[in-house]
Amino acid sequence: MSAHGTTPAVSGPPPSPWQLLVNGILTENPVFRLALSLCPAVAVTTTVLNGLILGVAVLAVQVLSSMTVAIFRGVIHPRVRIPVYTIIIAVWVSAIDMTLAAFAPAVYAQVGLYVKLIVAFAIIISRLEVFASRQPLVPSFFDGLGMGLGFLLALVTIGAFRELLGNGSVLGYHVLPSQPLLFFALPAGGFFSIALLMAFFNWLERARGGKPAASGGSHG
Amino acid sequence: MSEMSAGPAAPHAFVLSPGPHLHVEESTRRIMWWVNGALAPAAIWGVYVFGWNALAGIAASIAGALGAEWLGARMTGRRTTLADGSAFCTGLLLALTLPPRLPAYEAFLGGVFAIALGKMIFGGLGFNLFNPALLGRAFLMASFPLAMTSGWATPRNWFGASLDAVTSATPLAVIKEHGFAAGLAVITSPAGFWNALALGFRPGSIGETSVVLLALGAGALLARRILTLTIPLSVFAGVAIATWHTGVMPIHLMSGGLWLGAFFMATDYVTSPSTVNGQVAFGLLVGLLTGIIRVYGGYPEGICYAILIANAMAPAFDLWFRPRRTAPAGTPS
């Protein structure tokens, strides 16, 4: 078993879909609990919209990659599994990248760079390694869905926090006069925003009776 | 730096105990209130020179710092440490680095940030990595760049003349923008060269302008051995080296927040190295960075970021400049 020690039953009977969703969104939220994929979480979340678009792209790639790996897990040789996972992720990232470029060119201009970088997001390959390579299709789908939703929720939350405080607006609509605290729109403020929200999620998890964050110190 | 307290009262008149026998006189609380007292002349002078706006800024910054300290102690269930004067000191130091015409609520937010995210989140007094007051200032610089760089007031003239709230740039800012001659004109216009640089009749932050009063406060702390000269002198040496070639080194040494930073911020026990060699290296780094930022960087004054960067290096300096063992090798320590 890998470093993510609290993943429920990676080799036993699969957990229920509901458990998997809660796990991805709260218990093992990729950004706030596992501290994975922090780079994009800082870089794109200056506005809600940017966070939303990248979150949706990651959600799609995570679900599709998890399902693909779950289907082919019997034929992927363990020794070459990491390159194979990477190729699978790259296929889906390319598909999402072209789809966005074709159907939402304006948004693509904003986040296009980061969409290509989804290939290297730690959270996706981590779920393939920890979960989808050992579980059947349906649980893998819900695990990918939970993790993708958790990431989406994290990015939208951080984006809302930073856009509101840094720019006085939400989704582009100005709700506050001027820019209350420009600091939070700057990169340094991004780190502070994530840290504050992470502290909130840790507190929330403790209030629910959960354990302290399982992982941390991961990069990507 | 730990809070020293007397043990339980001894039941007998005489207590026999093995040495060393320490006589505890200083405590965090005493030291901090001495520092606050040493800063008071410069603060009062700032209010006199720049008017009531400056007082509002000082009060708001201290209120923010004390409020955050109280709330942080409550939320984390620790003993409230309001009375030890350290949060008051952070708020006061922050206020002294702010422009006189900065809106009071912004100074308040700076005080809150300094204590909440600069100190309490690390575990309170003694655990912070960076100087909280300077973190507060850096936060305000990032949040309110316009107010922080244009909130200067023209100083009151040498006892008397009217106080117009006309904004004007600080000497260092003018030197940066228009060259040395223009900077000299700003310095000498209201009160003359030495009055401006020594007494503080020049535009600037609330507490930075009067070198004489800052030196007075620092002298009191030196006399009580709360400060040593190691770090401040190293800082001045560093600035002198970095600004030597500009030809206006004396102006650099006499201006800006250099004295405030060198004596009252770089010397913070918690965020500076504890060995003498480490302190020399730390002070030189602060001074060199200050000079480099002033001469080549984007800001007219660099002491704030210089100290913050050096704070991050302080643990490394402690590691690189360890005290030499005095006992022969092999002796159990």
The DSSP line for B171-216 is HHHHHHHH-HHHHHHHHHHHH-HHIIIII--SS--TTTS-HHHHHH
Q: Could you tell me if B262 and B291 lie in one domain? A: yes
For residue A215, being part of any structural domain is answered with no
- Contact flag A183-B142 (C-beta cutoff 8 Å): yes
Q: Which site among B143, B146, B308 would you substitute to test the A interface, given the most A Cβ atoms closer than 10 Å to its Cβ? A: B143
User: Could you tell me if B112 and B68 are in contact, meaning their C-beta atoms sit under 8 angstroms apart?
Assistant: yes
A192 Cβ under 8 Å from any chain B Cβ? yes
Query: Quick one: how many helices (H) and strands (E) in chain A?
Result: 8, 2
For residue B188, being part of any structural domain is answered with no
In this prediction, residue A29 carries a pLDDT of 87
Q: Which domain holds residue B136?
A: 27-152+204-224
Q: Could you tell me if B134 and B218 lie in one domain? A: yes
Q: Which of A112-126, A165-179, B39-53, B281-295 has the highest mean pLDDT?
A: B281-295
- Cα B202 to Cα A148: distance, rounded to the nearest angstrom: 58
DSSP string of B147-163, one letter each residue: HHHH---PPPPSSSS--
Structural domain count, chain A: 1
Interface ipTM: 0.73
Closest CA in chain B for residue A184: B143
In this prediction, residue A156 carries a pLDDT of 93
- Contact flag B144-A182 (C-beta cutoff 8 Å): yes
Closest CA in chain A for residue B144: A182
Q: Which domain holds residue A192?
A: 17-207
Q: Could you tell me if B212 and B292 lie in one domain? A: no
**Degrees, nearest 5: CA angle A150-A151-A156:** 100
- Contact flag A182-B109 (C-beta cutoff 8 Å): no
Q: Could you tell me if B142 and B236 lie in one domain? A: no
Q: Could you tell me if B34 and B67 lie in one domain? A: yes
For residue B16, being part of any structural domain is answered with no
For residue A170, being part of any structural domain is answered with yes
For helices B52-76 and B86-96, give the axis angle rounded to 10 degrees.
140
For residue A157, being part of any structural domain is answered with yes
Residue B256 CB partners (closer than 8 Å, separation 6+):
B170, B172, B204, B208, B294, B300, B301, B303
Q: Could you tell me if B31 and B99 lie in one domain? A: yes
State pLDDT tens for residues A20-57.
888 888 888 888 888 888 888 888 888 888 889 889 99
Q: What does the block give as tokens for B279?
A: 């302190």
Q: What does the block give as tokens for B88?
A: 């008051």
In this prediction, residue B96 carries a pLDDT of 92
- Does the pLDDT of residue A151 top 60, yes or no? yes
Q: What is the mean pLDDT of residues A162-175?
A: 84
pLDDT in tens, chain B (333 residues): 334 444 444 444 566 666 666 666 668 888 889 999 999 999 998 888 888 888 999 999 999 999 999 998 888 887 777 888 889 999 999 999 998 888 899 999 999 999 999 998 888 888 889 999 999 999 999 888 888 877 777 666 544 444 444 445 576 776 666 666 666 665 555 555 666 666 666 778 888 878 888 899 999 999 988 889 999 999 999 999 998 888 778 778 877 689 999 999 999 888 999 889 999 999 999 999 999 998 888 788 889 999 999 999 999 999 998 877 667 667 665
A182 Cβ under 8 Å from any chain B Cβ? yes
- Cα A36 to Cα A150: distance, rounded to the nearest angstrom: 12
Q: Could you tell me if B270 and B214 lie in one domain? A: no
- Give contacts of B143 with chain A, Cβ < 8 Å: 181-183
In this prediction, residue A174 carries a pLDDT of 80
| Beta-carbon contacts below 8 Å between A and B | 13
Q: Which residue carries 């009262």 as its tokens? A: B9
For residue B41, being part of any structural domain is answered with yes
In this prediction, residue B235 carries a pLDDT of 94
Q: Could you tell me if B220 and B261 lie in one domain? A: no
Nearest to A192 among B117, B144, B145 (CB): B117
Closest chain B C-alpha to A212 CA, distance in angstroms = 17
Q: What is the mean pLDDT of chain A?
A: 84
User: Could you tell me if B201 and B190 are in contact, meaning their C-beta atoms sit under 8 angstroms apart?
Assistant: yes
**If you ran DSSP here, which 8-state letter would residue A174 be given?**
E
In this prediction, residue B121 carries a pLDDT of 86
In this prediction, residue B187 carries a pLDDT of 58
For residue B44, being part of any structural domain is answered with yes
- Contact flag A182-B117 (C-beta cutoff 8 Å): no
Q: Which of A7-11, A106-110, A139-143, A196-200 has the lowest mean pLDDT?
A: A7-11
Q: Could you tell me if B120 and B231 lie in one domain? A: no
Closest chain A C-alpha to B144 CA, distance in angstroms = 7
- Contact flag B143-A182 (C-beta cutoff 8 Å): yes
Q: Could you tell me if B31 and B80 lie in one domain? A: yes
In this prediction, residue B264 carries a pLDDT of 92
Among B224, B252, B284, residue at a domain's last position = B224
Among B224, B259, B276, residue at a domain's last position = B224
Confidence of residue A218 (pLDDT cuts 50, 70, 90): very low
For residue B264, being part of any structural domain is answered with yes
Q: What's the whole-model pTM score? A: 0.80
Q: Could you tell me if B65 and B213 lie in one domain? A: yes
Closest CA in chain B for residue A192: B117
Q: Which site among A183, A186, A198, A202 would you substitute to test the B interface, given the most B Cβ atoms closer than 10 Å to its Cβ? A: A183
In this prediction, residue A3 carries a pLDDT of 43
In this prediction, residue B177 carries a pLDDT of 66
Q: Could you tell me if B90 and B216 lie in one domain? A: yes
Closest chain B C-alpha to A178 CA, distance in angstroms = 11
In this prediction, residue B85 carries a pLDDT of 86
User: Could you tell me if A159 and A51 are in contact, meaning their C-beta atoms sit under 8 angstroms apart?
Assistant: yes
For residue A214, being part of any structural domain is answered with no
Residues on B contacting A at a C-beta cutoff of 8 Å: 109, 117, 139, 142-145
For residue B251, being part of any structural domain is answered with yes
For residue A218, being part of any structural domain is answered with no
In this prediction, residue A1 carries a pLDDT of 37
Which of A17, A43, A47 lies closest to A149 in space, CA to CA? Answer: A17
Structural domain count, chain B: 2
- Give contacts of A189 with chain B, Cβ < 8 Å: 142
- Does the pLDDT of residue A216 top 50, yes or no? no
Closest CA in chain B for residue A182: B143
